[in-house]
Structure 1
Amino acid sequence: MELISQVLALEPTSQVLGKEPIVPFAILLVVILVVPILFERLRLPGLVGLVFSGVVLGPSGWNLFQTESQTINLLADIGLVYLIFVAGLEVDIEQFQQRKNRSFGFASFSFSFPLIMGTLAGQIFGFDWVISVLIGSLFASHTLLAYPILSRLGVVKNEAVTVTIGAKIFTDIGALLILALCIASASPLGVFNLAKLLTLLGWLIIYSVVVLVGFDWVGKEFFRRSGGEEGNQFLFVLLTVFLAAVGAQLIGVEKIIGAFLAGLAVNEVLGEGPVKEKVVFVGSVLFIPIFFVHLGLLIDLPNFIHSTSNLQLTVFLVFSVIASKFIAALLAKLLYRYNWQESITMWSLSIPQVGTTLAATLVGYRAELLPVEVFNSVVVVMLVTSTLGPLITSRVAVGLASATVTEPTITNQPEPQPPDTSTAFTIVVPVYNPQTQQYLIELATLLARQANGRIIPLAIATAAANMDAPQLEVSLQRSERLLAKATAQSQALGVTAEPLLRIDDAFAQGISRASREQKASLIVMGWGKRTGLRARLFGNVIDNVLWASHCPVAVTRLVDSPKKIQRILVPVENLMAPTLQPVHFAQLLADANQAQVTVLNVCERRTSSSKIAARRSHLAAIVSKLALPNPPEIQIIAHENVAQAILQAARLYDLVVLPFTRNRTSPGGLAISDVTTQLARQLTCSIIMLGEPQRTHAVPLPTGIPSTTSVM
């Protein structure tokens, strides 16, 4: 009996979890890891699963988490700030400058119509004017959840898409500005009159200039003086975000406005580099998902289900968002003379309401400006639009790409330039792993012989504090042995090697710097695996070389000798801006082995035979511009899954050459898996992933084909 009484006296589970912060954090990590994967298998956005998890684990479900939990609230606040910061960070300033007038035009339509209809909804359901205007502003912005789909299909440069992307900066700023004014007008500190409004706007202008100009200048100076130390640069960016958030609160506006301005301020400073990749990575895998789970905790599910007015308000808001965004896209079609496919694409891109919408909703709810029924309805709107928008985009954008393919755009492809004979074709081969060195040298010698070039085996000895340190001496001796072996291997294969030993701070910097000094045309590296927390946060050697190198980088996983390769497959997904470098690289290797190259394109299963024929002829015309002595075979496969089609085709080939691209995160913050990642994990044959540098002045392969970037 005493044991039973002790058991009955145990505290409830929720109270135990509240006293042990590490327990809810561990549960959150499990949710973040497992739930998005399960929902994506069901063809639903991962963020929908995170919100659903919050409902299940919160007061409306199992009551494991409490909304008053300091741990979860702190992490959710960081996620809130991070979400808006990433939205500002991923604004494409270059694309915005190209179409800023039309972007402003579409932004005006996309902002004003949802604002009007949302305000009307608030008035119909009995809310006062401030709440009604705030409800309208929540849906005036949009989140580019479907950007990875557009990148994969190669239609990002389409004018209608570019205009929609550029419009986001106007709608986000407008929505956040209305939020600040509504919060200030509802402040309990007194009557909000014209003087207070002008004062707030004055402080906001001064603050914006300080952040946009001052943080941009300080960031450039810090990055210039930090010497490429990614850890310090990463911490500087985080400090910038939260300083801007604190500054916004000091002048009386919400911290998310400061976070958005901070994202715009460091946008140019970071560029498309490894630090930006890591900054977005940390937020997208940890803090932003916790923010979505926290949203689910706040949903009052019983009240929402049993209230008829809640259901009516939700249905009206969903209809208002979808209809108003369609009207905006229709007006853009009429004004700018887009076709229906482009107009529907603009509509589908502007439907999702995630980043700015949810952030502003949570701020309004915490300020006790938005009632719980509006909060519940907005979350449902987010769930519906985040599912509907990408679904429509995936269907319509394919048609947009296909329509463009059938048009006579071949003349717009860049003409091949004559080869630059002033410098020899140079291949740098970093040697470190004796197990992969043999095949790397074989591959380099095959390419060098075919291109009448040279190879440079490169060994990096990492520097120590003192040049006479014992560990440096050991590293030098090991590097010399590797270079001697590489030189002997290349001589046995009939190519003279020029070994190079370099002492540098780190392997990646040493490889990229030596390659630049030697005017390398290509870097050939062995496969690297991500191991350990540091590699996941700050990248491994291959990641950093890909970001920093001035020339193409071939990352290889060779299961057999390169001399035995007879059949090479090159998947090309984007026919609007195809990557020609992998095709030429594969043909260069094939000519050395008298092998055959097949260029593969996968289209939708429902694609008609006439469109397949048009795609084949279009792809053949593009490849013919390489002026290769042995043209590759062109193959078109109709399949519903690109990765599965390539995997099935690859069974008959010895090597698959893929363009290397990074996973891009959407402004919503959740990473989208990409086809190249799946192929690299499941292919059993040899793989070469050809990573092209970020700059347009990169060193071309021997035929002088300009580097073009595509997403696989």
Structure 2
Amino acid sequence: VYSYPRLTRWFFKKYNDNITQFIYVLAMVFLASVSAKMIGLESVLGAFYAGLVLNRYIPNTSGLMNRIEFVGNAIFIPYFLIGVGMLINVKVLFASWTTLYVATVMSVVATLCKWVAAWITQRVYKMDKIDRSIMFGLSNAQAAATLAAVMIGFKLGIFNEDVLNGTIVMILFTCTVSSIVTERAAQRIKLNLLTETANSDKTGMSKIPMPGNYKKNRTLITVSNPVTAPALVDFAVLMQPPFKKKDSELFALHVRNDNSAGSRAIGRNSLDVAISTAASADVKVTAIERYDLNVVTGLVNTIEERDITDVIMGMHRKTNVIDSFFGAKIEQLLKATNKMIVINRCFIPVSTVTRIVVYVPEKAQFETGFARWVCSIGSLASQIGCRAIFCCHPDTWPYIRQILRNNKFDIRAEKREMNDWDDFLLLANRILDDDLFIVVSARRTSVSFNSQMDELPGFLQRYFARNNLVVLYPGQFGNEVPVTSTIDPLSNDITAPPSELWIRIASVYRRIILFRKRFTQRKRTKKIDL
């Protein structure tokens, strides 16, 4: 409990390769098994305990978890079941009535106890009979855990062969009953949902709780090079709500304005890396390679063509002193589209994050994309298994909590009151290196925007330069500024606001011109007087 989390976090930060991480997980499980055997316990207990500790650092939708489940389901579990089954003497089942008697008692007691537990839960929480059937059906089946416990008892001499053989019969009986009950209860739930949908269509009010206020997820991931593509794809996969997996689509986009062989090779390599990273997590990604006037134009055109709902991109890195924190392209993209924009900069793997700290501006609940970004952060926290701390206004917290409850995100959500913009600076001393700091910003035309947000890039550059940072712009309704340019768009940005240095130079230039005009006017007036 003490050494494994620290060692795992350090290893995952240093090595991002899925194969290396998979070998590390196997080594830790085998080490725990050997350690348990050395202190007099069964090795399976050590492996089980190691899995409980390591599960926190392996998200369910990651490529590493996909490999672990595949190897476990294809090799370890079948070998375990076959190995246990080879120890059973089939002749004992028919040699005497003792084995059948033990099997009958074990099956009846196990099934009855599960039904009583489901019935008590139904009464306590005032549920329906269908809910009780679902709980009973899903919990009644006995399989690998029961076999492991009985095998340990058999080796220690606690149980005899009758109990071991009766356990096999109990597993066969409970699994059969569980499958039948669950299937029938699921059909009844589906019929009830269809009935409620029909009634809601007649009354105009839907009784079925919908996950958020949106029907689809079409995420666009911008990849510029093969180095940053895997981290962006992993982040995008973790942000997908689990209840919208079937309706979610991921697109990987690479935009180039150069038709040379080198640019083509970089684009294709970046897209191949993105596809392979998503495939390792059993997620499909549609690759898009685009030649356009500039990056922003290609992004906007792809957003409109594919009906994109949110965009995930890497954070711009400053190339000179005059360059802005976000970069001209991102600032231009924010004006050109009203979709949700997520700008990511993580120095460590997302799976090793210990906390997610979210700064929420005042009146954020009135934005159009409020429910979407709350569900995305809820999905990210639930997949990683860490707690989420929302630093928000007291009026905004009830809406965040209600959305998390309605969509059944089982996360540890906490509130920190933020009543003033000055409280934002206090977070600089509270954000740790293993935290993920998410700043929910706003566009100028949005309800939650205030004039102090113009200082946000400077604050982030000054106080959060070494932290894992995500800047999120919620989706909203409004007019979009078309992106058009007849000159080189990569060297100039027409629609971006001028920098402070350029404003000062322009003001000095205007003063010089004004002084020259006044000086020439004075000369002319003197000549007229003479």
| Higher alpha-carbon Rg | 2
TM-score when scaled to structure 2?
Answer: 0.43
Hey, which of these two has a bigger chunk of helix by percent?
1
